Amino acid sequence: MRYGVLIPAYQPDHRLLELVRELRSDDIETVVVNDGSTVGLEIFPELERLGAVVLHHQANRGMGGALKTGFAYMSEHGFDGVVAADADGQHTPEDIRRVAEALTQHSGELVLGARDVSQMPRRSKMGNSITRMMFNLLYGIKLQDTQTGLRGMLFTKDSIPGLLRLPSDRYDYQMEVLVESGRLFPKGIVEVPIQTIYIDNNRSSHFRVLQDSIKIYSILLCHLPRFMASSLLAFAVDYGLFNLLYYLVLRRSVPATVLARLVSCTVNYTVNKRIVFRGSGRTYNVWNYIKLAAGILIANSLLIYLLVDRMGLPAFIMKILVECLLYLVSFAVQNQLASKA
């Protein structure tokens, strides 16, 4: 397998030069993308003298944009796979080789270099812990490190077009790759332990805490707005059809309720399948949807019974709390079902 190391670089310093020098001393093919740098420009000719390929952006496009430029170049020039690494000294040549070895052993899987979260600075540890928990909850994949920039992936007829089509261009691109991993890398994700290196408390990072965090969490929750709209539509169908059947046709509440709920559930499933979770995997099907709906109904009834009938808490408050909780559970479960290949 022919693989290369891809390094997006913005305002680089001597650490990039040292990394590439070590990689090239082992004859590891290296591609560096100058992502519109205005500082450290003297480093790029040095990299070319070492034998690295240097690609240039006239303006800064972000990490995701630089990675996509590198992916396109490498896939067009005969590479079978890539190990993407950072330019700021966080990834050692030894760890890069470790990820490359795992890539050859786990064909078709996304390989992540996983750091020890307990050794991270407080701010990074908190952000990583939150995204790790949310990713596990929403996509059913438990990872040790969701924000690692050291990743290995093979180029396939499915992965390359998918990687290049992802719309994100900055740090959120890394999260989008994980969110879409079920389709891009259907064999799964494997993690390889790597060193946890933060130089000068990661002061040289170009990560914008507020803007980039908002983008990352919007990727994690990308289906939620459409899911809420689908739920409102289902409620409108359920409410309108119940009144129509009760007042104009049946004059009986139970059959009107059942028929209205059957129609609204059908509408909800169809909209979720085709619009909310478009391109969803095989596990998002009618049978699993029915099992989830039945489970939610049972859980709703039990919780209301325990909180209201047994504990004596006010019903009008408990009903709202239970419905909100189970709504989030329903979203998380359906999101997981839709994300599986």
What tokens does 266 get?
Answer: 């059908």
Locate the domains of the chain by residue range.
Answer: 3-220, 224-339
Q: What is the pLDDT of residue 45?
A: 97
pLDDT tens per residue, range 100-131: 999 989 878 999 999 998 888 887 888 889 99
What confidence tier does 207 reach under pLDDT thresholds 50, 70, 90? low
Q: What angle (nearest 5°) sits at the alpha carbon of residue 147, between those of residues 153 and 29?
A: 35
Phi, psi of 7 (to 5 degrees): -125, 110
Closest CA to 102 of 198, 187, 8: 187
pLDDT tens per residue, range 169-179: 988 999 999 99
pLDDT tens per residue, range 140-155: 999 999 999 999 999 9
What crossing angle do the helices spanning 122-139 and 172-179 adopt, rounded to 10°? Answer: 30
Phi, psi of 296 (to 5 degrees): -65, -40
pLDDT tens per residue, range 1-27: 899 999 999 999 999 999 999 999 999
Structural domain 3-220, CATH architecture? Alpha-Beta Complex (3.90)
Strand partners, 169: none
Average pLDDT, the chain: 92
Least confident of 197-201, 210-214, 252-256, 300-304: 197-201
Provide mean pLDDT across the span 63-81: 96
pLDDT at residue 204 is higher than 60: no
Least confident of 187-201, 249-263, 280-294, 318-332: 187-201
pLDDT at residue 80 is higher than 90: yes
C-beta separation of 62 from 35 below 8 A: yes
Report strand pairing: 30-35 vs 3-9.
Answer: parallel
